[in-house]
Amino acid sequence: MRAFFEGIQWLFENIFFALHNYLRELERVCWAGANTINWIFMAICAVAIVYWCKQLKLHQDSGQEDQDTTAHSFLK
């Protein structure tokens, strides 16, 4: 049974967390290089927020959005 759990430990430490270990070692050499993935995710989120806000504005301007408080039966 112990070998089973040690096998799971090996799998997670050596396979699943290999990228995390690489980034941890890279941070000691180059902070910006290790945080590049964070900057990429922040840029993707910023683009998604801008797109979402533009779509909300588009729907609001076209009158498709029902702003009536009685639009749902449970709000009456």
pLDDT tens digits, 2-51: 999 999 999 999 999 998 888 888 888 988 888 888 899 999 999 999 99
What was the pLDDT predicted at 71?
61
Q: How far is residue 54's CA from residue 15's CA, in Å, rounded to a whole number?
A: 41
Asked if residue 25 lies in contact with residue 36, where contact means CB atoms within 8 angstroms, the answer is no
Q: How far is residue 23's CA from residue 30's CA, in Å, rounded to a whole number?
A: 10
Q: Name the band, by pLDDT with cuts 50, 70 and 90, for residue 68.
A: low
Q: Name the band, by pLDDT with cuts 50, 70 and 90, for residue 70.
A: low
Joined tokens for residue 8? 């799971």
In this structure, the chain runs to a length of: 76
Q: Name the band, by pLDDT with cuts 50, 70 and 90, for residue 55.
A: very high
What was the pLDDT predicted at 24?
86
Q: How far is residue 42's CA from residue 48's CA, in Å, rounded to a whole number?
A: 10
